[in-house]
Amino acid sequence: MARGIPGGINLIRADSDVSLGAQGYAKYHLFGQELYITTTHISILIVMAVLIIFAIFANRAIKNADPNKVPGPFLNFVEMIVEMIDNLVISNMGAKYGPKFANYIGTLGAFILVSNISGLFGLRPPTADFGVTFPLALITWVMIQFNGFKHQKMGKIKALFEPFFLFFPINLISEFATPISMSLRLFGNILSGTVMLSLVYGLIPKALTLVWPAALHAYLDLFSGAIQTFVFLMLTMVFVADAIGDEAAQ
């Protein structure tokens, strides 16, 4: 039986099994610290399993495809996804560097999207946990800095003092604020939807939970989840392209 983590948010009412916070399913100790296996960890494993299974079937469908025959619905779906990602990165990062980031953008988008909409299937979205969104944003930030120094070299340092040296503190804060703002934006939007749905499920009679919250799921999980995925990907591509500089426009 799952139980709340100490310091977390308690149940909405005494007879409800709906919780606003991550629930601990198992406890263990590591280096003197008390750690939990939570709903976030379980949801991440399920999301990863879904993506891996999809990738295996997609790879098999591509390998077994007959160029002389009309592709089936599943292969058409896979080709549509690949083409959409290629067009997205090329339109935002240029034809020269865009394809180099297509794999990362595609993987990032797939993980965030499936995580965001996992609430439709009774899971607690992994992206409703700041411990998930911050590492994702941190990876993007590392890519920004790496490509900035790789392509701009010392121009990356010089940019911190533009338009003149008094702006250095502001520019420096702006650099380090990027992963925080990106992660909080995704985390806040998904968590707010999770909290609203938890309140609905905790306040209305169970007989109505099969019908009434459906519209909220369609918006908060599906529509909002897709929008937040697109926003995170766009910010990633724009920031990395900006770090590359004028070469990305070629």
pLDDT of residue 101: 92
pLDDT confidence of residue 213: 66
- Given pLDDT bands bounded at 50, 70 and 90, which one contains residue 8? very low
Burial of 211 (0-12, 13-18, 19+ CB in 10 A): exposed
Residue 226's alpha-carbon distances to 126, 175, 189, 218, in angstroms, are: 15, 27, 11, 11
Return d(Cα 44, Cα 47) in angstroms, integer: 5
pLDDT, average across residues 217-240:
88
- 40, pLDDT greater than 80: yes
CB 110 within 8 Å of CB 102: no
pLDDT for the residue numbered 209:
64
**Domain extent for 15:** 3-249
| Count: domains in the chain | 1
Quick one: average pLDDT of 108-132?
91
146-155 mean pLDDT: 84
Name the token pair of 70: 């009309």
* Element housing 105 (H / E): helix 102-117
Contact 117, 222 (CB under 8 A): yes
Q: How far apart are the C-alpha atoms of 116 and 191, rounded to whole Å? A: 10
Sheet of 3-4, strands arranged across = 3-4, 23-30, 33-38
The pLDDT, as a whole number, for residue 3 is 45
Query: Whole-prediction pTM value?
Result: 0.82
Tokens for 129? 């946990």
